[in-house]
Amino acid sequence: MKLMLGKTALLLCAAIAAATTAVSAGSVSVNIVARGARLPAARAAVLRRAAGQQDDKGEQILNGSCTTCHDLRMVEVQALDKAGWTNSVESMIQKGADVAPDDLPILIDYLVTNHGPLPDGPGKAIVLNICTMCHDLKRVRQNLSTREEWEVTLGAMLNEGAPLSEQDFPVVLSYLARNFKPE
């Protein structure tokens, strides 16, 4: 019994030490929102690299070109299609954004893939304003789930601190279940 408790205590101490090291080294999840504050884009990129995640070229262009003038929130809530992102990026270039011509298609493809369009309908605005506080739209679109699975997912997000109100919960649940269900 003593040996078993000793091993458990040792494992617990090792886990705490590993977590402390990871936090102090900056290798924590980039998508964590602390009291509603998002990490600055440059810090987020550093944390992703520290966590061993490979940066996507499109994300590098976005972080290098777009975040010099504004934060990523503006990108996260637009949900544009290819034509919309192309117009938006071209408008930003006219205003002084520095994007190399060869990088333009890479950036546009990245934006469409990760921050692309969502179906219209009740709940879309809530998804754009609440879910994108922690997740990109690619993650939302790829998570095809039943209504019951979406309900569990939303419950888990509430437990993680998602600021989803009681009145918005059924609206978002219906939106996700209607638009992102298994075939």
Q: What is the 3-state secondary structure (H, E, C) of the chain?
A: CHHHHHHHHHHHHHHHHHHHHHHHHCCCCCCCCECCECCCHHHHHHHHHHCCCCCCHHHHHHHHHHCCCCCCHHHHCCCCCHHHHHHHHHHHHHCCCCCCHHHHHHHHHHHHHHHCCCCCCCCHHHHHHCHHHCCCHHHHHHCCCCHHHHHHHHHHHHHCCCCCCCCHHHHHHHHHHHHCCCC
Count of beta carbons in the 10 Å neighbourhood of residue 91: 10
111-159 per-position pLDDT tens digit: 999 999 999 999 999 999 999 999 999 999 999 999 999 999 999 999 9
Decide: 119 and 59 in contact? Cβ < 8 Å. Answer: no
Tokens 């936090």 locate to 23
154-163 per-position pLDDT tens digit: 999 999 999 9
CA–CA dist 28, 50 (Å, integer): 8
Decide: 103 and 61 in contact? Cβ < 8 Å. Answer: yes
Domains of the chain, by residue range, sit at 1-27, 31-115, 124-179
66-105 per-position pLDDT tens digit: 888 888 899 999 999 999 999 999 999 999 999 999 999 9
pLDDT at 56: 85
Q: Is the pTM of this model over 0.85?
A: no
* CATH architecture observed for domain 124-179: Orthogonal Bundle (1.10)
The CATH classification of domain 31-115, taken from the options 3.30.2290.10, 3.40.640.10, 1.10.3720.10, 1.10.760.10:
1.10.760.10
Q: Do 31-115 and 124-179 come out as alike in CATH topology?
A: yes
Percentage of residues in the chain having pLDDT higher than 90: 62
Decide: 126 and 164 in contact? Cβ < 8 Å. Answer: yes
Tokens for 65?
Answer: 């070109």
pLDDT at 21: 41
Kindly tell me the burial class for residue 165, based on how many C-beta atoms sit within 10 Å of its own C-beta (0-12, 13-18, 19 or more).
exposed
End-to-end Cα, the chain, rounded Å: 51
